[in-house]
Amino acid sequence: MQTEFGKITFSKKIVSQVVKDSALQSYGVVGLTEPSFLKKVSSFLKSPSTRGIDVRFTDEDSVDIGLYVILEYGVNISEVVKNLSERVKYDVKNLLGIHVHSINITVSGVKG
């Protein structure tokens, strides 16, 4: 991101942290998880702040986000996912100034 004072760049880790905080504060979200067994094994090498989150920069000021969530049993899944998507986009844009080009949310499970 270019400003009048210079260039600001964000790491994938900071974007992931904002996404994680936003997701875990959303109604109906119990936790985050990795999408597959191989990803779960490799997640031990990842920072806990990036588990269950994929961030790809599409250009300097835009990202694609993949999010793997566990939802609370009994919630309206489509409504929770819709609200989660809107909240993540809002938080990333307002806290970091980065446009969310796309967000793909995978519900990996429900927990009672």
Residue with tokens 């927990």: 111
Q: Which domains does the chain have, with CATH numbers?
A: 11-111 (3.30.70.1350)
Strands (E) located in the chain: 2-3, 6-7, 29-32, 53-59, 62-72, 99-111
- For the residues 104-109, what does the mean pLDDT come to? 95
- Span 13-60, pLDDT tens digits: 999 999 999 999 999 999 999 876 555 555 555 565 678 999 999 987
Task: Report CA Rg, the chain.
Answer: 14
Specify the pLDDT at position 43. Answer: 53
pTM: 0.86
**Average pLDDT, whole number, for the chain?**
89
Specify the pLDDT at position 60. Answer: 78
Tokens encoding 81: 């996912």
Pairing of strands 53-59, 62-72: antiparallel
In this predicted structure, the answer to whether residue 74 has a pLDDT above a threshold of 80 is yes
For 98, phi and psi rounded to 5 degrees?
-105, 135
